[in-house]
Amino acid sequence: MKSREPKSFSELSRKRLDKVFFLGYFGGMKVKTSITLSEDLLKAIDEYTGEYKNRSEFIENAVRAFIINLIRRQQDSRDLEIINQHADYLNREAADVLTYQVDL
C-alpha cells in the first residue's frame, strides 16, 4: 500500500516536529557514532553538561533543539509566504473593519 503524501508544508513540518518530540520523549534507539569537535566547543560542553547525565545526552538535546528551531523557521517562512500572498486582501479587510470603529 502506498503511503499518503502530506497535504501541506505545515502537515509535513508538524510530522517532523512530532517525530523529534516523540523520539526525545521515548529516547529512540541509540546509535553509537563519532564526531569531531573543536577543543573550545568541547570545553563549553563539559562546562554545561552538569545537569545532564553525560556529553551524549547534552549533545542530543542540543541537536534536537536545533532541529526543532529549523522546523519552526521553515514553518514561519511558509506562514509569511502565505500572508504575503494574501496581503492585499487582508489589508482591504482590515481597512474595512476600521470603518466600523466608533470614535470615543
Q: Are 52 and 64 in contact (CB under 8 A)?
A: no
pTM over 0.75? The answer is no
According to the model, what pLDDT value does residue 6 have? 47
Tens digit of pLDDT for each residue in 44-65?
A: 999 999 888 999 999 988 998 8
Cell of 52: 545532564
Whole-angstrom distance, CA of residue 97 vs CA of residue 28: 50
Start-to-end C-alpha separation, the chain: 63
In angstroms, the CA 25 to CA 12 distance is 20
